[in-house]
Structure 1
Amino acid sequence: MADKCHLCLLGLIFLSSLLTGLSGVDDAHVFISSGEDVRLPCNNDLPDCKSTTWTYNRFSYSATVELINSGRKKTDTERHERLSLESDCSLNIKSVTKEDCGSYTCRQYENGQQLGTDARVFLHVLHVSSSPSQTEISAGHSLTLFCQLYSYSSYHKVSCDDLIHSEGIDLFWVNQAGVKLTNSDSRYQISFSSDHCYISLKTTILNEDENREWRCEVTQRDQLKTSVSYTVKISARADSTTAETSTPENQKPLNTPNFERTAAAHPSGFTDQQVVTSTTETTLSQDTAPITWKVIVIVVGVSVALLLPALILWLIRKKRADVRRETDDSVEQTDDVTYIIYCAQ
């Protein structure tokens, strides 16, 4: 009986150590918004990075892709132009896309032998889109905002339920006052999908929504990790039933859609989680200038185009008539001379 208990204890110890390794107590989780630049730390760095290797896995069952080998970028990968290695062997990725999410592993070698353990980093990418996608929105029209968190998973579809329970991750929409939006407000329709890890916000744009901001936030254990803000500008070409007279401020020309980004590092040291805020603004269309002068120019141009051929034709006919008149006069003079000569004879 004692032997059986001893074996059970050893089995539990082995299983516990295995699960600890799989769960990744020292694993880092980095959150970023699409379009941002990100830094992935490598904890077991050496004085130089000539022996550093970085690999990538989109899913646990997908093939491993080697990004960095012996401190050099692999040029046969699609993202190699966006990759760079820091002096501390951390991996930089420029203009992150939703396809960049996944598991990144840093390894160090010396004389062909691996030093220390793997340093694994899970990259989570937050991506926001809208429907309709144009940058102008009219009062009275419906707007739907989609916010999706792309993450590494053991399955093809990421389950937010798993992320919520294992990592304490939460995904939600807030207004510009920071109040979480729910379906209790009749103006908003909030839909959440745990299969695809996205949350949508649907509402009808009102005239008073000018400069109103909605923000999608991701928190981990109640700490903000990344967010994307969407600010609405009312189109000046709204329907006559819903449009209001534009104020002088609204008549000012605005820039094309822009992203205002700020980043703050978590004070936990080398395994920082990044906090990034992105702001997307829709442009306000300018009032169209009066087109009366354009109509006048078009009318004058058409008139000239029609009258010019008629004028040319009239001049040609007049010229021919003058020539014919001169010819007739010449013939009459010739007949008179002939008649006089005949009479004289």
Structure 2
Amino acid sequence: MVELRWIKMSLFLILGLQFTAVTGQTSLYITVRDGDEVTLSCENVMNGQDKCDSTTWLFVGSGSTTAVELIKLGQIGENAEAKSDRLSVTANCSLVMKKVTVEDVGRYTCRQFKSGQQQGQDSQVYLSVVTMTEHKNTDEVTLNCSVSTYEQCEQTVKWVYEGNYWDVNTQHMKESQSSCFATVMFTTSPLAETSKYYELFKCNVTDKKNGKVQLFAFSPQSSGE
């Protein structure tokens, strides 16, 4: 009987350790606008490093399965030269990326090494990017807002006018929505006649997983610059 209890206890401990190993990996989800700067936090960073010489950052882009070493033991990776002028590492080994583009959408993994051996679980950050564009056609203006994601879209997108959601039947203004994409069009109204109408619009992005809401202000620079 004592032996049976010992076996059950051992199984419980083994299963508990397996569960900890699986759930030990941390994952963060970040959404930023194209052109912005973003800091990706490394949640598993080891203490006592010299200029993050134990830290490696890996990147897998949307639709890809190949990992690229952006940072290798604190230094810019050989295959990251195209992004080298936009990348840097902070004192706590977070990854900083300037002028984010849609091509930066993907999964970022912070991995720790000691004497060539990986230490602990990975820390992952999933980066999504918001893009806004503007199209004019005589007295008609169309604003688009879309979110590019690494995995299946888990965000809802909606345009906000002066801080409030409007009725899609409002005169001179129409809106359409689909997964991770929203469009608003307005015509023959005072809005279309002023160069500052964009100050009245914001793109509302809500993450379904954690309920986080972000408002991105529209500006003329979002139309391709």
Question: So what's the TM-score if we normalise by structure 2?
Answer: 0.77
* Structure-1 residue corresponding to 2:39: 39
* Structure-1 residue corresponding to 2:148: 150
> What letter corresponds to residue 229 of structure 1 in structure 2?
F
* Structure-2 residue corresponding to 1:228: 217
Q: 1:75 to 1:148 in 2, by over 3 A?
A: same
The 8 Å contact of residues 33 and 226 in structure 1, kept in 2 or not, is answered as no
* Structure-1 residue corresponding to 2:172: 187
Match of 2:190 among 187, 192, 207: 207
For residues 179 and 56 of structure 1, the distance between their equivalents in structure 2, rounded to whole angstroms, comes to: 38
The 8 Å contact of residues 187 and 204 in structure 1, kept in 2 or not, is answered as yes
Gaps of 5+ in 2: 1-7
Q: Shift of the alpha carbon at 1:67? A: 0.6
Aligned residues: 200
Match of 1:71 among 71, 74, 84: 74
Gaps of 5+ in 1: 1-5, 164-168, 231-256, 259-279, 282-345
> What letter corresponds to residue 75 of structure 2 in structure 1?
R
The 8 Å contact of residues 25 and 121 in structure 2, kept in 1 or not, is answered as no
2:62 maps to 1:54 = no
* Structure-2 residue corresponding to 1:94: 98
* Structure-1 residue corresponding to 2:4: none
> Which of these two proteins has the greater Rg computed from alpha carbons?
1
* Structure-2 residue corresponding to 1:123: 127
- Greater relative CO, 1 or 2 (CA 8 Å, sep 6+): 2
For residues 45 and 37 of structure 1, the distance between their equivalents in structure 2, rounded to whole angstroms, comes to: 21
The 8 Å contact of residues 27 and 119 in structure 1, kept in 2 or not, is answered as yes
- Residue correspondence of structure 1 range 319-330 to structure 2 within 5 A: none
Question: So what's the TM-score if we normalise by structure 1?
Answer: 0.52
The 8 Å contact of residues 31 and 226 in structure 1, kept in 2 or not, is answered as no
For residues 38 and 175 of structure 2, the distance between their equivalents in structure 1, rounded to whole angstroms, comes to: 30
> What letter corresponds to residue 214 of structure 1 in structure 2?
F
Q: Can you list the C-alpha shifts for 1:155-193, whole angstroms capped at 9, x where unaligned?
A: xxx4x3xx1xxxxx32110001x1123423243222222
* Structure-1 residue corresponding to 2:206: 219
Q: Shift of the alpha carbon at 1:120? A: 0.1
Larger strand proportion, structure 1 or 2? 2
